[in-house]
Amino acid sequence: MRLSSILSFVGFALLMAGTYCPLLRPFHIVSWNVYQLNQPYGLVLLLVAIVGILASFLNQPKIIRAAAWTSVVLVLLLFIAALLKIHFAFSFIPFHKFEIFLARQIKFKWGWYVLFTGPILALAGALSNRPQIYIKSTEAIS
């Protein structure tokens, strides 16, 4: 296995591990991971990580690149969805200050670092896998 495939493998393994890490902590009581936020979305992230791991073992650079870009987009969409979920979770309350107070009780946890690091490493490994292009000189050697 090449270094870029190993880097992609580590990135996809971190993505898989990041789905089990705590992402949100509502009201300082429990911690939620991806599967407690949205289980089907978490399973799609897990499937993309498994496809990326298999592609890195089988040395398929196009599949690695597609899985890496897909994982980056999915993690960004999950982060945006979490922000919107926190922002609009208590919008039904007519008292604005109480709504803001309740929304501030939901905290982001360290799992987001793992969840973002995985796809970035996988993408770095996938993009460093491009073949080198050598330009031949047209000058004759005298």
pLDDT tens-digit series, residues 45-81: 999 999 999 999 998 999 999 999 999 999 999 999 9
Handedness of CA 25, 114, 81, 87 (dihedral sign): positive
Q: What are the tens digits of pLDDT across the range 18-40? A: 999 999 998 888 999 999 989 99
Residue 40, exposed/middle/buried by CB under 10 A (0-12, 13-18, 19+)? exposed
Which has the higher per-residue pLDDT, 1 or 92? 92
pLDDT of residue 96: 84
Polymer length in residues for the chain: 142
Q: Where are the domains of the chain?
A: 3-127
- At a CB cut-off of 8 Å and minimum separation 6, what does 54 contact? none
- At a CB cut-off of 8 Å and minimum separation 6, what does 101 contact? none
pLDDT of residue 58: 92
Average pLDDT over residues 110-126: 94
